[in-house]
Structures are given as structure tokens and as C-alpha cells.
A and B are shown apart, each in its own frame.
Chain A
Amino acid sequence: MEPNEDNPMIVSSQSIVLTKRGSDRGFGRRLRRFVSGPQFRWGVVGIAGFILYWYLMVDVFKIGSFARLPGFVSTIREWVSRNPTYGTSLFTAEYYKHIWSSVTRVAIAFVLATGLGVPVGLLMGWRRVFRGLTFPILELLRPIPILAYIPVVLVLVPGREAPIIVLTFLAAFFVTILNTLLGVRSIDQSYLRAAKSLGFSEAATLLHVIIPGALPYVFVGLQIGMAACWFSLVASEIVSGQSGMGYEVWQTYYYQQYETMVIYMGTLGMMGWASCATLRAVGRRLMRWRAAMLGGI
């Protein structure tokens, strides 16, 4: 930081620089910059290395039990085939049907988990009595693995679709609550005191201080929650589903259609990545002030 930055005379020149940076924020521009940047290049190298490893271990050398796995070439051939051996590829309706049913389940569960988890977490962080009342319950229920919830949920929740959604929801719900709570607790006491001195009402404090202050943690929680959603989705589809990518991974394993199994695994990975990337983009948009603080993105 140059000391003469503090000279009010040159404040305006500094703001011009920052506005210029601001106009760089379009999605297309950012994408172009990302693709031409070193991060992207190394990412491509990393993935290429992974695929090469797969290809060498399975297709070429068939080392040990790797010989039993589907090869890279046959998997890709199946994936893009117009007439796939096991009936699932980019050109079959079957493929999209299962993607759709998994994606809708995750979407519903995630929206519910966010819609309920964030308010509960805010309330827990904000009101000591509510926190005292609910924190022990949270800490008791949270560590129970989602797989252990499956029987209870199957007994409790009727229907075929609802139990899967409930299980998917639960995983994200706890993570979202905890991170929102931590977010509220992390807010510097000075901000709350400043709000009090400035005459903020309780509602205004919640809206202008607590919620934006907790947002960075909330978004970390949402990302972990999204990953937890996909994880428990697959688990619950395996146990009680009739459709969906998790169900298909298990079915194709059962029928030894390993190429299709890997196709669905790969698709799950891509969906998970895309959903978290979307969340990060939303977060960046809502927290532009942070980008400014971290020196601009």
C-alpha cells in the first residue's frame, strides 16, 4: 500500500482503475480468461493424466483386478454409441430419464435444505435461547451417518419418491444449519456494536449485518451440503429407488454392464461438479464485496 494512496487528491484516479476492473466481470470474459489461464491448462493436463492412467492400467496392461474393469476406450465408445450394447448412451432417452429423476430429487432436497437450514441456522446464531435448545439435538443427530437414517425414513415416510428426497435433504440440512450458525457466530462483535450505536432495529441488524456477514460461511455450507446431497441420493436410490443414476449404478453392477456403470459414475461426477460450480458463481455474485476485498477476481 503506497502511503500517498491516502492523499484525497488522487482518490479519483484510483476509482477509475477499479471501475475498469469492474467492467471485466462478464461471464464470457471471465470464461475466456479462465480458459487461457494456467489453472485451466494444468487442469487439462491433470485430467489427461488420469485418463492415461486408466487407459494404461485397464486397456493396455490389464494389471491385476484392473483387468475386470471396463476400459476407457470401450466406455467412451458405449457412451457415444447410437446403438449401445447395454441400452444407455448419449443418444438414448433412458440415459436422460435417469439423469432427470436424480437431478429433480437433488434439486428439491437442496432447495428444502437451504430454505429450512439457513433460517434455522440464523436463528440459532442470533438467539441464545434457541441455540441452547437446539444445539444439543443438532450435535446428536448430525454425526449419525445418513445410511443409518435409511430404515427410519423408510418406515416413517410413505411412497417411493418421498423417502429418497427426505434422505437427500437430511444430509444437506445438517451441514447447512451448522455452517450458517458458525457464520453468524463468526461475525465480528464490532459490527453488531456499530449497528446498535447507529440505531439499527433488530430486524435491520438481521437483514443488513447478520445475514450478509454470515453469507461466506453459508455458501461454504451450501457447497458441502450439495456434495452431501449427491452422496446420500446415490445411497438412497440404491436402497429404495426404481430410477435415477444411483439406482442405475447398482443395477448395472448387478447385471455386469460395467461400461454403463462407469458412464453413470462419470455423469454423477459431472453433475456434482456443475452444481457446485453454479453455487460458487451465485455466491460470487452475491458477495462481490469479498472479491473487492481479496483484490478482485
Chain B
Amino acid sequence: MPGALSICNAGKVYDPGGLNVVAMDGITFDIRENAFCVVVGPSGCGKTTLLNSVAGFDGLTSGEIFLDGERIAGRGVSAKPGPGRMVVFQNGALFPWKTVLWNVSCGPVQQGRMSRAEAQTKARELMAKVGLSGIEDQFPGQLSGGQKRRVEIVRALMNNPKVLLMDEPFRALDALTKSVVQEFLLEVYDAIPKTVFFITHDLEEAIFLADVVVVMSTRPGTVKRIVKTGLPRPRDHTLLTSPEFLRLYGELEALIHEEAMKAFRAGERELA
């Protein structure tokens, strides 16, 4: 399952009441198949806008996006989401009125690829494989925040997507839970390699997870720097204190801080 993502000169202008807010402009970078790419930037830099165009929730006003050569966004392409591009949402989107098993197995059933029984068998297998057995018959509301996130990742993987899109998925978690779920994601990534497009404003998270970190500037969002981390896999939390990690962190922190300050000042201007 390939999943090479190519973003060419992507731009988006929102026009609420003729205000012409440029959310992002001239974004160009490639993610080769099975690479883990993390986009970092301050709030309001267009990260989510970019992810929504890749997901097919929203169109572009300029530029194009290709997935394995197929044009999925751009002029004349109507935005259309699909199981090839699975999204893990910021606040989680497991259907709370369905059991965990239903949630995990629903994709292949709805796409007509499997019968309900087949999908459920596969869901149980996958959940067992990643250490989530025993919660299949519970409702998402009965799970902890960390469990919910892991189940949602498994639900996405059940659809065998070309690319996994993650929109600040661990934002609402406390620090301890967050590190547990990050390691879970890395284990899953090592076991089932996928192209991952991950958004965060947490630089430590970005470097810990990524092969490639894309730093975005504040509004209008543009690509400020692309850094290959070159850190070895498999990774665990001991990486966080390694000299190589700290060197990267130092290098990127300055960039991010500069953008955050710009965003902050712009915000002050807007409020003034």
C-alpha cells in the first residue's frame, strides 16, 4: 500500500464578508510513502486547513495535492473524503453511541469490503495485536482518554489507509497519558508502516515521532523549514534526553518561538 503525498503550492483564502483571510499560502513539500511527517506551527498557522484539504473535507483556493499521483485537491477537484485518507480528530470522533467493537469494525462494513462478522473478527485480531483486548463491548464513554485515542487509531488502521491524518490527536491528554499514547503510536507505526501526516504545536512531540518535521510560519501559513530528524527507530522515551534529540529541539525551538511571538503580536494587533 503506497501513500506518497505531494503538496504543491497549496493555498487557501477564506473570505468571510470580503475580508480575504489568507490561511495558508504556497505550501510545498512531499511526504514519501510510509514516512512519518509532523507539521508544527503556532495556533492559526493553517495546519488544520492543510490537513482538511488532504482529508478532502475542504478545498484549496490555489495549488494542488497529489496522493500517489492522483490529484485529490486543486482547481476542478471537488473535495471528497474517503477511506484511503483516515483522520484521527483533535477531540476524538469515536461514535459514543456505538460499542468499541462497532466503531473499530464499521469502516470495512460500510465500504462493502467485508461482512459484519469478518470485520469484527479482524477488529478483534487487530485490537489484540496492539494490546487493546477486553474493551470491545464497552462504549467509548467508559474508556479513559488514552484508550479512546488508541481505539481511534486502530479504527483508522482497519481501513488500510494510504495515509493517516492526525490533527493534534493528543492535545487534550495529560502529559503522562500523552507519552504512553505516543509510544503506542510509534509501536503501531513500526508494526504497520503508513504514511502519517501529523499536526501538533508541541515541538517535543513532533521530533519524538517524526522522520520529517515541517515548521510552518504564522498566518499566512507558509513552510518555514523542513528538517529530517534522522533519529533511529524503534524509539522510546529515552530518546527524549539523547543529545541528538536535544540538538534538534534547540535548533527548532528558536524557529517556533520566533513564529509564536509573531503570532502573538499579530493577535495583539487584531485585538487593539
List chain A positions with a Cβ less than 8 A from chain B. 1, 3, 5-8, 11-12, 14-15, 18, 188, 190-191, 193-194, 196-201, 204, 208-209, 212-213, 215, 287-290, 292-294
Contact = CB atoms under 8 A, between A and B. Distances in A.
A197 B97 contact: no
B93 A11 contact: no
A232 to B, nearest CB: 32
Given A199-B110, A199-B159, 11 more contacts: A6-B144, A11-B133, A191-B95, A197-B81, A197-B83, A198-B107, A198-B110, A199-B111, A287-B97, A290-B97, A294-B141
Interface string B88-103: 0111110111100000
Given A11-B134, A15-B134, A191 B142 contact: no
9 contacts: A3-B174, A6-B146, A8-B131, A15-B138, A199-B159, A200-B106, A212-B98, A290-B96, A293-B96
Contacts of A188: 91, 93
Nearest to A13: B134
A39 to B, nearest CB: 23
Contacts of B145: 1
Given A6-B181, A18-B138, A208-B106, A213 B97 contact: yes
A287 B145 CA distance: 21
Contacts of B90: 190
B176 interface: yes
Contacts of B82: 197, 199
Closest 5 CB pairs between A and B? A293-B141, A6-B146, A8-B131, A212-B97, A199-B111
B73 to A, nearest CB: 15
B86 interface: yes
B181 A198 contact: no
Contacts, number: 112
A190 B134 contact: no
Contacts of A190: 89-93
B134 A198 contact: no
Contact of A204 (B56, B110, B134, B176): B110
The secondary structure that dominates the A interface is helix
Contacts of B134: 11-12, 15
Interface residues of B, number: 43
B145 to A, nearest CB: 7
A283 to B, nearest CB: 13
A201 B106 CA distance: 12
A88 B23 CA distance: 74
B183 to A, nearest CB: 10
Given A194-B87, A199-B107, A215-B97, A1 B144 contact: yes
A216 to B, nearest CB: 9
A215 B95 CA distance: 13
A293 B87 contact: no
A215 B98 CA distance: 13
Contacts of A194: 87, 89, 93, 95
A1 B55 CA distance: 32
Contact of B93 (A8, A14, A191, A294): A191
A198 B106 contact: yes
Contacts of B174: 1, 3
B110 A212 contact: no
Residue of A193, A199, A215, A292 ringed by the most chain B CB atoms within 10 A: A199
B87 to A, nearest CB: 5
Nearest to B107: A198
B85 interface: yes
Residue of B89, B93, B131, B140 ringed by the most chain A CB atoms within 10 A: B93
A193 B146 contact: no
A154 B78 CA distance: 53
A3 B93 contact: no
Contacts of A199: 82-83, 107, 110-111, 159
Contacts of A12: 133-134
B180 interface: yes
A200 B110 contact: yes
Nearest to B102: A208
A12 to B, nearest CB: 4
B147 A11 contact: yes
Contact of B132 (A8, A200, A289): A8
A6 B177 CA distance: 7
A16 to B, nearest CB: 9
A8 B111 CA distance: 30
Contacts of B144: 1, 5-6
A190 B96 CA distance: 12
Nearest to B176: A3
